Amino acid sequence: MTHPVTPDGRYFVVRGRLWRRSDPSLPEERRQELVNELMAARRAVGTAKRADDAEALRAARAAVDAAKTNLGERGPVWWTDGAPDLNRHMAKNTPYADWFAALDV
């Protein structure tokens, strides 16, 4: 399933909510390294939860956050035009509302 991407390429939409995309200026090799780190960290979250290991869970969640920040999905925005970060906002409540309403989703 392909999620709609905003016309400016900054977000994709899942169940009406905007999610920030990775920084497109990242070289493909670096992006893939970060995605691999993210997937490993997400697996570590699951392992820590199943083991009921609070310390490991904190570390795994920190690793997820670091990977997402390095990908540009969290932290400072990767665009430079001063537009606000609308990550996690409902598309219908943003400047993308008309675009989103016109989608057949």
**Contacts within 8 Å (CB) and 24+ apart, 85-93:** 85/20, 86/11, 86/18, 87/11, 87/18, 87/19, 87/20, 88/17, 88/18, 88/19, 89/17, 89/18, 90/16, 90/17, 90/18, 91/13, 91/16, 91/17, 91/18, 92/16
The pTM of the full predicted model, rounded to 2 decimals, is 0.88
Whether residue 87 is predicted with pLDDT greater than 80 in this model: the reply is: yes
Confidence of residue 104 (pLDDT cuts 50, 70, 90): confident
Domain residue spans in the chain? Answer: 1-21+85-105, 28-72
Give the model confidence (pLDDT) of 30-75 as tens digits.
999 999 999 999 999 999 999 999 999 999 999 999 999 999 999 9
